[in-house]
Amino acid sequence: MSEITTVGLDLAKNVFQVHGADARGGVVFRKKLRRSAVLEFFSKLPPCLVAMEACGGAHFWGRELARLGDDIRLIPPAYVKPFVKRQKNDAADAEAICEAAQRPNMRFVPVKSEETQGAASVFRVRELLIRQRTQAIDALRGHLTEYGQVVPQGATNARRLIALVADDESDLPTTARASLKVLTATLAQLDDQIEALDAEITRRAKENEVARRLMTIPGIGPLIVTAMTTLAPPPETFRKGRDFAAWLGLTPRQHSTGGKQRLGATTKMGERSLRRLLIIGANSVIIKRHCHASARPGTWLASMLERKPTMLVRVALANKMARIVWALMKSGEIYRAPAVAA
């Protein structure tokens, strides 16, 4: 049997598919494994390159197999898809993963530690609670509209919704008030839980030296810096700030051909939480531009606001903020405001 150099592992809940190849790409074995037999199977193989798609559970299996001496490579699923031949099944996916890992210019995802994954959970939980709070507010507003009580949209108006339900002298029927109070109680509980998570995020930002330096950038607060230090790969992963901004999906989508450049909307690739937070931070700078030196007359931001639509400027500023964040994380310096043009 040829010497195994690369193994493609297609992850699943219970039944895993393994595809082994030699240095020339020839098939050495194809095998199905139950979850309980995966580590035992790889412990009997010589150390080799093991490739997986960067999906749920990939970081866990990457850590476990790395302890056996294997070289772990996680590949974004979008980069594996072109290597799937004809019909899609587990065996074809494992073969495609193995073939993609052997490409010299393939891009890989770093394996996260347990501490990093644990720190990132606070943002996932916070996003879930915010979605649930939005659902509760929308449901409450919809029910009150049926009784002629119209309240403007936005989480800032949630208190008015709660006050209408709590007011015993309002025109709400008694039969509806009891069920609506369930929504208001849920809304109050969600607010308390989100505030607790925000306090935890702020505490982490104050304790982290990198986070304190990043907060010197206009529009960057505790939430963004903690997300950056937790969700973003190490700055050494990218050659320059533009690559980091492209990873976040803050660059135009290209559809160029025949030497003619065609740019569209942003690609929206990479970590969507970071991209959304950066755009929100850029919007806060634009709203309060009279307070920031980077938005004074004569600066890049001021000239962009004069010539371009506001939404385009938000994304452009978020792109610039991402490149500044990468530069500060790489160099270890603090932010210095640009000089105003004469």
Is 32 or 293 the better-scoring residue by pLDDT? 32
Q: In this prediction, what percent of the chain has a pLDDT beyond 90?
A: 59
For the question of whether the overall pTM of this predicted structure is more than 0.75, the answer is yes
The arithmetic mean of pLDDT across residues 24-51, rounded, is 94
Q: 334 falls in which pLDDT band (50, 70, 90)?
A: confident
How many C-beta atoms surround the C-beta of residue 87 within 10 A?
Answer: 7
Helices (H) and strands (E) in the chain, counts: 13, 7
Note the pLDDT tens digit of each residue in 238-265. 999 999 999 999 988 888 888 888 888 8
Q: At 114, is the pLDDT very low, low, confident or very high (cuts 50, 70, 90)?
A: very high
Average pLDDT of the segment spanning 25-44: 94
> Residue 84: pLDDT above 70?
yes
- Give the contacts of 336 (CB within 8 A, at least 6 positions apart): none
Res. 342: pLDDT tops 80? no
The whole-angstrom separation of Cα 30 and Cα 204 is 46
CA 129 – CA 203 distance, rounded (Å): 19
Q: What is the pLDDT of residue 34?
A: 96
Per-residue pLDDT band for 73 (boundaries 50, 70, 90) equals very high
pLDDT at 9 over 70: yes
Neighbours of 202 (CB within 10 A): 15
- Using an 8 Å Cβ cutoff, are 70 and 47 in contact? yes
Q: What local confidence, expressed as pLDDT, does residue 1 receive? A: 54
9 in Cβ contact with 49 (< 8 Å): no
- Predicted confidence at residue 340, as pLDDT, reads 55
